[in-house]
Amino acid sequence: MEGNRYRRVRVSDLEGFQHARDDYWYRPLVFGKGLFTYLAYVPPGGFMPPHGHEEDAYELSFFMLEGELEVTLEGDTFLVSPGEAIHVDPGVSLGVRNSGDRTASFLLTFAPPPPIPSPEALRERYERRGSGIKTREEMEALIRQGKVSR
């Protein structure tokens, strides 16, 4: 689609990336000039502790798709269920924990986007850092483990 001003992706074709040294995986969906969106998965028992440094520059849009998560924002922890959305101002630390028995999934959008222009650049960055990358098949197995859809 060279020259097109759009990019179409099928989630099941995407590999997954480990957020940090936690049990939080994501598949990048949108690499835009003004935003970045990914589909995140947190398996049962998985978490991402609030840390603050990555969110400093970003306004976030969080939309819960499946499962339930304990979300921590500015020291407040509450349960988020499918169909709920959260707007997070820049500088607010976000953390999530899955205490349930199924994989939870949500969409997270960053504005402005981080300085990663493409899926290829993201993969190169993760390979250089030695960070976790799961194949499409491994991501599908992670999702099935907790019975969540794509």
Domain range for residue 114? 11-145
Residue indicated by tokens 């074709």 = 13
Q: Please indicate, yes or no, if residue 5 is contained in any of the structural domains.
A: no
pLDDT tens digit sequence for 87-114: 999 989 899 999 999 999 999 999 999 9
Three-state DSSP at 22 gives coil
* Residue 6 located in a structural domain: no
Number of domains in the chain: 1
Per-residue pLDDT reduced to its tens digit, 19-43: 887 888 999 999 999 999 999 999 9
Residue 80 lies in a domain: yes
* Domain membership flag for residue 4: no
The CATH number of the domain holding residue 130 is 2.60.120.10
Residue 102 lies in a domain: yes
| CA-based nearest residue to 36, from 104, 119, 143 | 119
- Alpha-carbon distance of 59 to 73, in angstroms, equals 13
Residue 142 and residue 98 in contact, taking contact as beta carbons nearer than 8 Å:
no
Provide the token pair at 30: 């949108």
Distance CA 132, CA 41 (A): 14
